[in-house]
């Protein structure tokens, strides 16, 4: 778990006894909403933790993205050239040591590559930054070599957006239709996504164009931003006033 305090950034407990296994050093930045997550760097597990910036926009500073050893809590690497005052989505493991970092509040996107050096330390290379792709509440979906994300934030309403692995935006729905911070999940090569309001969409994740296959009103109107869960062909969707289980597979 991530207390994100001046005493420890991340802590680990033994799952059966609850005993403290380790606690990391404090991490640069403020507390945010990102949970620690595991990514692969050179075939090894790294625990990634994103910290919030102090301030926003051009005045943002002190936020950080950190890679830790999940066995000891040692900080292995830190990246500081992406700042978000209220980070929520976890970074996306894009393979080959690459991580896609996204946020709202005009933070946009950064892609970094982490590599192990000959002396055993780790180096971080920034591959690109793009203000025209991001995510406010949920991590982008990676399918093939493209990312798909709800990019409606406080400052802009781009809807569902597709971006290539090298940071090129391929298309966006804008408000036709709107996608506002809803949940998304990939199942058998298809994207299931709520629009953040009433509708559920089935979308073919295709970099050439937005290709909806079906849609249905499934929730009462509201800010329905909850994540989706799919088990045995049954999709769990949650609004502010209701939870529904939908059969989405034959």
Name the band, by pLDDT with cuts 50, 70 and 90, for residue 34.
very high
pLDDT at 179 exceeding the cut of 80: yes
Name the band, by pLDDT with cuts 50, 70 and 90, for residue 57.
confident
Strand (E) or helix (H) holding 116? strand 108-116
User: Looking at residues 143-157, what average pLDDT do you find?
Assistant: 94
Q: Which residue has the tokens 């059966």?
A: 16
pLDDT score, position 170: 98
Task: Look up residue 181 and give its two tokens.
Answer: 């911070």
* Contact in structure between 42 and 115 (CB atoms under 8 Å): yes
Rounded-to-integer distance, Cα 198 and Cα 219, Å = 5
Rounded-to-integer distance, Cα 91 and Cα 37, Å = 8
| pLDDT tens figures, 220-247 | 999 999 999 999 999 999 999 899 999 9
**Domains of the chain by range and CATH?**
1-131 (2.40.128)
Rounded-to-integer distance, Cα 161 and Cα 201, Å = 14
Sign of dihedral through CA atoms 56, 91, 245, 203?
positive
Q: Is 180 in a helix, a strand, or coil?
A: coil
Rounded-to-integer distance, Cα 182 and Cα 215, Å = 14
Main-chain phi, psi angles of 246, to 5 degrees: -115, 135
Q: Is 147 in a helix, a strand, or coil?
A: strand
Of 102, 96, 224, nearest in space to 163 by CA: 102
Q: Where are the beta strands (DSSP E) in 120-168?
A: 122-130, 141-143, 146-152, 157-164
Rounded-to-integer distance, Cα 223 and Cα 201, Å = 16
Burial of 162: CB neighbours in 10 Å, binned 0-12, 13-18, 19+:
buried
Name the band, by pLDDT with cuts 50, 70 and 90, for residue 184.
very high
Overall pTM surpassing 0.85 (yes/no)? yes
The reply to whether omega before 42 is within 30° of 0 (cis) is no
**DSSP conformation letters of 187-232:** ETTEEEEE-SSSEEEEEE--TTS-EEEEEEE-S-SS---PPPEEET
> Above pLDDT 90, what percent of the chain?
93
pLDDT at 250 exceeding the cut of 80: no
pLDDT score, position 24: 96
Torsion of Cα atoms, 201 then 206 then 208 then 213, to 10°: -40
pLDDT score, position 58: 80
pLDDT score, position 55: 87
């Amino acid at each position: 778990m991530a207390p994100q305090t001046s005493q420890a950034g991340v802590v680990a407990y033994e799952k059966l006894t609850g005993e403290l296994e380790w606690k990391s050093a404090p991490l640069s930045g403020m507390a945010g909403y990102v949970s620690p997550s595991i990514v692969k760097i050179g075939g090894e597990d790294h625990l990634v933790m994103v910290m919030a910036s102090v301030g926003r926009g051009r005045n943002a500073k002190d936020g950080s993205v950190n890679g830790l050893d999940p066995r000891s809590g040692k900080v292995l690497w830190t990246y500081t050239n992406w700042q978000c005052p209220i980070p929520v989505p976890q970074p996306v493991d894009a393979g080959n040591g690459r991580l896609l970092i996204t946020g709202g509040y005009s933070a946009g996107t950064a892609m970094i590559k982490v590599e192990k050096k000959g002396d055993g330390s780790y180096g971080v290379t920034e591959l690109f930054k793009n203000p025209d792709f991001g995510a406010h509440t949920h991590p982008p979906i990676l399918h093939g070599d493209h990312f798909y994300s709800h990019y409606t934030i406080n400052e802009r309403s781009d809807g569902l957006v597709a971006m290539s692995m090298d940071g090129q935006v391929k298309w966006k729905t804008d408000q036709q239709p709107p996608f506002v911070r809803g949940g998304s999940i990939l199942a058998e090569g298809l994207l299931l996504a709520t629009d953040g309001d009433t509708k559920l969409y089935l979308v073919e994740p295709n970099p050439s164009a937005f290709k909806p296959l079906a849609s249905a009103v499934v929730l009462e109107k509201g800010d329905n931003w909850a994540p989706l869960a799919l088990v045995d062909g049954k999709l769990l969707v949650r609004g502010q006033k209701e939870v529904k289980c939908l059969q989405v597979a034959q």
